[in-house]
Structure 1
């Protein structure tokens, strides 16, 4: 049955309400940013300082961290993966285990907090397109196989991710959709080979342009169909979401939930998990006074998604203002400030996680779905400011719990049944 959203009547739902508690299997963690020296800390890695940071994270009741080394330090030459740098990463995984934390390791960085990190063998007159040059691809595969072998067997290892938001690098490395697919397939296979059978998750990540960017070469299909699960990074500054609608708006408070449902629509496996792998409260998009409420609402709304794997906050510690040239929002994203003191958002996140775990139960299926009909060149309709996005958010405010279904699946009764969908709403 297909309806127009304008003819469907539903009761209003408080924007921050929890429809049902989450599944007991949900994971809650944080992206680890070293307090002293940011990621430059890898130049003179101090296990004692790292353990202090990890103990603070564990003290919030979180169960995992996502960690990042720097590509130029790991692989300064195409033919050299430095054993000492790999050992640092392994040691960090061991320190996390001592604190009771599981770990996802990102391999190729790549891009972190507005800075790009390239080994010199990819730059200047040595320039190689990191996505298309066969030798550059093979070098990254060697790095991932090496990391996988070194990390395999650690019981607290969640898995190995190709790298952080690799699609941030497309501006300097032009690439086609087909070339992205080849790149991802090659590196995912290398990571899986390194970890070995049963060694953990193998994943990749992209920033929001993969979902909202018209004709962006990293596609929603690649995110939702390659690797062991789908990762989403629903940032409130993407497409000016928070400035467009306001920091306390339903659109902001339901953004991670929406991103999870949008990702589920592109999956070919109806049971494929979705990981909200990055979300945070960047100032001034989310003023500091609103950050605790934003954190509570984001978690409470996201856990109403049946396919949610977990939520990993960005990030653990603020960037110290003694470090220059970061965008302003990067300095205040931490749960802890740069001296290690927990901020109000840390308490809000910790308390909410404890409450959700105490009342855990699987959410019911979303029986109503909004049909998404877009092309690669009109993908922005599904982003903030787009017509599809605004229709979904309007339905959510009216009390519906809409899933998302691609137009190509709207007549696929087996697909709809597998997802528990009994009613379709067509935009317009």
Structure 2
């Protein structure tokens, strides 16, 4: 764990969005990175688009890899470390999958032997090319790749939990073979924690890879139910950080808040800075937080078509690289020293059975009980119901009290728990 949580952004190029790989302009990238370094960030997460880098299963384009290395080197010159996502995958409502996995060549992303061979070769190649760069943090397998494995995706690549286990182990091994000892991980959207039939499970998220990644988006029903200033809305990112800890074997496994943003219109632009400040402050009160990486660096150009409206304005900087108020909030948080948070001594018991994950989702009894505790002044974490009497596990995490969701009663005055 670093001595203090890290602050960074998911890098969305100001010119061409992620299609910039087709017309790579290093000067434009450098200008983007200058605008980020000026705010005091210490890392970025970058996104090679998989079909641009590996258009054929046997072709990983050398020129594309060289461009990625040039970006990483430019970031390093500005004091920015770099995490690289591999299998893109899914970004901002668009799917980017190579033609050798779709339509006439339709093969399952998680189970087909030839596809797995191609994926492993690609991840190993990227990691190997980056292995000697000191600024390279490690690989993330792909961005929210679990969205391909189940509904509501319109054409899912179905897999079982056991098949996902095998896939995760093989892909993470490929990253480790390419760049031994780096922080290699995988990252899913919140269906992993909330959707009963999702084959990517909380246990996999909390046990595979060097650390746990969570992606917090309050358009999942949280802000719709509770409003932009509701306790669950402002604490949603912290909730996911603490929820993930229930499944971890390591009592102090690092958790990376790898994506979090202020989506309009649920968070109107004039209130984005206040939401950002609240979200960051509550997340920083979570022990073992590796870092916070905001989505995203620069707004999407209005010259690009067909994005959902909210995607155009998520940047901490405008499309012409001017910082917004929320950028100043993040910059201030990044440079403000603070003591390490105290252990969270009250734990809410959550179901170990992945078929009951919807209880943890917005509207579920676990979700509601957690935020009743928060509203009453507690600093809750979570523990699996199967570990609620495991005194060694509880002691290792500093937990002194375990409560079940049904024990947490509403207190209309929002007073202190007795």
TM-score, length basis structure 2: 0.94
C-alpha separation between the residues in 1 aligned to 2:308 and 2:196? 25
* 8 Å CA contact 1:229, 1:275 repeated in 2: yes
Q: Does 1:87 align with 2:66?
A: yes
- Secondary structure of the corresponding residue to residue 393 of structure 2: helix
2:158 alignment partner in structure 1: 174
2:308 alignment partner in structure 1: 327
Quick one: which of 36, 39, 48 aligns to 2:27? Answer: 48
Q: Does 1:62 align with 2:41?
A: yes
TM-superposed deviation, 1:176: 1.0
CA shift digits 1:295-346 (9 cap, x unpaired): 1111111111111111000000011111111111101100111122111111
Quick one: which of 363, 377, 388 aligns to 2:366? Answer: 388
TM-superposed deviation, 1:374: 5.3
- Secondary structure of the corresponding residue to residue 237 of structure 1: helix
- Secondary structure of the corresponding residue to residue 91 of structure 1: helix
C-alpha separation between the residues in 2 aligned to 1:237 and 1:47? 34
Q: Does 1:147 align with 2:126?
A: yes
1:220 alignment partner in structure 2: 202
1:424 alignment partner in structure 2: 402
* 8 Å CA contact 1:207, 1:232 repeated in 2: yes
- Secondary structure of the corresponding residue to residue 233 of structure 1: strand
C-alpha separation between the residues in 2 aligned to 1:188 and 1:250? 36
Describe how 1:258-273 pairs up with structure 2 within 5 A: 258-273=239-254
Describe how 1:120-135 pairs up with structure 2 within 5 A: 120-135=99-114
C-alpha separation between the residues in 2 aligned to 1:276 and 1:187? 22
TM-superposed deviation, 1:129: 0.8
CA shift digits 1:10-55 (9 cap, x unpaired): xxxxxxxxxxxx9842101000000011001110100000010011
* 8 Å CA contact 1:75, 1:143 repeated in 2: yes
1:3 alignment partner in structure 2: none
Describe how 1:342-353 pairs up with structure 2 within 5 A: 342-353=323-334
Which runs of 5 or more residues in structure 1 are unaligned? 1-21
* 8 Å CA contact 2:6, 2:334 repeated in 1: no
Task: Return the structure number with greater relative CO, CA threshold 8 A, min gap 6.
Answer: 1
- Secondary structure of the corresponding residue to residue 201 of structure 1: coil
1:34 alignment partner in structure 2: 13
1:295 alignment partner in structure 2: 276
2:175 alignment partner in structure 1: 191
Counting matched residue pairs gives: 401
Quick one: which of 272, 286, 311 aligns to 1:305? Answer: 286
TM-superposed deviation, 1:222: 0.6
CA shift digits 1:93-121 (9 cap, x unpaired): 00000111000001110111110001111
- Secondary structure of the corresponding residue to residue 140 of structure 2: strand
C-alpha separation between the residues in 1 aligned to 2:297 and 2:206? 27
Q: Does 1:339 align with 2:339?
A: no
TM-superposed deviation, 1:147: 0.6
- Secondary structure of the corresponding residue to residue 334 of structure 1: coil
* 8 Å CA contact 1:23, 1:361 repeated in 2: no
2:344 alignment partner in structure 1: 366
Describe how 1:224-303 pairs up with structure 2 within 5 A: 224-238=206-220, 240-303=221-284
CA shift digits 1:257-282 (9 cap, x unpaired): 11100001110111110000000001
C-alpha separation between the residues in 1 aligned to 2:350 and 2:70? 45
* 8 Å CA contact 1:374, 1:381 repeated in 2: no
* 8 Å CA contact 2:14, 2:299 repeated in 1: yes
C-alpha separation between the residues in 2 aligned to 1:374 and 1:195? 34
C-alpha separation between the residues in 2 aligned to 1:312 and 1:91? 22
* 8 Å CA contact 2:2, 2:290 repeated in 1: no
